[in-house]
């Protein structure tokens, strides 16, 4: 069992902030091992969209008051915090493209680059975390604008997910994005706490 350390900025009643170190004893399931049940009602659409809205402010609070050195640090070959944020930005194009695939009636959704070449080549560590957060936040707003007013029939449009090889509704693809976000937000929290 792997042990990682996590940090949290906690707002105290007097308004001051301090970093609190906590320890997770449970190892996070790798993304490619995650399995999803796409059987929830379409009435979860507003809840899922709200999760998507929350990712940028959540990350912003986590990385607030963190030094650039800490944000750029690569440990044991793993992505730095900036690269994690940059990766979320890099994938927004894919998520938006998949929405277009649903709307165009494509049988199979466009595939992700499982090697993450875009993130590896983007040199995200050379950017400031503020730049990365603005890029991500703008791209996420564009995704939300694309979907927020869809009706039930559109949210239920179905296509095949190329890696999972399972039918997926448009609403499921957004749930998939929300889960992917939270996977990386959790990674960011863990990276922050490593001294």
Partner 1 sequence: MIPQTAWTERKFEFNQPIGVFPITVERLRGTPIRLQAMLTNATDENLTQKVGDKWSLIEQVNHLCNCEEIWLGRVRDILDHKEIFERRTLKTDLQSEQIETLLKNFSAARHKLISLVENMDEQTASLTINHPRLQRPIRLMDTLFSTAEHDDHHLAKIRELVW
C-alpha distances out from residue 97 to 52, 77, 115, 194, Å: 16, 30, 18, 35
101 neighbors 109 (Cβ within 8 angstroms) = yes
6 touching partner 1, by CB under 8 A: yes
- Mapped onto helix, strand or coil, the DSSP state of residue 9 is strand
Contact indicator for 85, 166 with CB cutoff of 8 Å: no
24 touching partner 1, by CB under 8 A: yes
Q: With CB under 8 A as the contact rule, which of the stretches 71-79, 110-118, 120-128, 151-159 interacts with partner 1?
A: 151-159
- Of 35-43, 69-77, 89-97, 115-123, the segment contacting partner 1 by CB under 8 A is 35-43
Among 122, 132, 139, 155, binds partner 1 (CB under 8 A): 155
Choices 75-83, 101-109, 112-120, 175-183; region in contact with partner 1 by CB under 8 A: 175-183
3-state DSSP of 76-142: CCCCCHHHHHHHHHHHHHHHHHHHHHHHCCCCECCCCCCCCHHHHHCCHHHCCHHHHHHHHHHHHHH
Q: Which residue has the tokens 């194009």?
A: 93
Q: Does 121 bind partner 1 (CB under 8 A)?
A: no
**In the numeric block, which tokens belong to residue 35?**
């399995």
Q: Which residues pair with 160 in a beta bridge?
A: 108, 167
Residue number with CB closer to partner 1 (116 or 154): 154
Among 129, 174, 185, 191, binds partner 1 (CB under 8 A): 185
* Contact flag: residue 13 with partner 1 (CB under 8 A): yes
**Two tokens, residue 82:** 């900036």
Here the tokens at position 58 are: 């959540």
Q: Does 51 bind partner 1 (CB under 8 A)?
A: yes
Q: Around Cβ 49, how many Cβ atoms within 10 Å?
A: 19
Residues 68 to 87 in contact with partner 1, rule: CB under 8 A: none
Does 182 bind partner 1 (CB under 8 A)? Our answer is: yes
85 vs 122, beta carbon nearer partner 1: 85
Please report, as ranges, the residues that interact with partner 1 according to CB under 8 A: 1, 6, 8, 10-11, 13, 22-30, 33-34, 37, 41-47, 49-51, 53-54, 57-58, 61, 149-152, 155, 179, 182-183, 185-186, 189-190
């Amino acid at each position: 069992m792997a042990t990682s350390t996590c940090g949290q900025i906690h707002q105290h009643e007097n308004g001051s902030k301090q970093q609190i170190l906590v320890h997770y004893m449970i190892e996070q399931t790798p993304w490619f091992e995650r399995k999803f049940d796409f059987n929830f009602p379409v009435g979860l659409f507003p809840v899922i969209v709200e999760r998507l809205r929350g990712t940028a402010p959540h990350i912003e609070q986590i990385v607030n008051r963190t030094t650039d050195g800490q944000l750029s640090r690569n440990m044991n070959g793993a992505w730095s915090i900036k690269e994690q944020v940059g990766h979320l930005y890099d994938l927004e194009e894919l998520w938006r493209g998949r929405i277009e695939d649903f709307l165009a009636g494509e049988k199979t959704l466009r595939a992700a680059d499982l090697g993450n070449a875009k993130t590896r080549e983007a040199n995200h560590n050379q950017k400031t975390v503020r730049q990365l957060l603005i890029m991500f936040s703008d791209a996420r707003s564009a995704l939300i604008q694309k979907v927020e007013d869809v009706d039930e029939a559109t949210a239920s449009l179905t296509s095949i997910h190329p890696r999972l090889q399972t039918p997926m509704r448009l609403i499921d693809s957004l749930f998939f994005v929300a889960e992917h976000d939270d996977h990386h937000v959790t990674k960011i929290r863990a990276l922050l706490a490593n001294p």
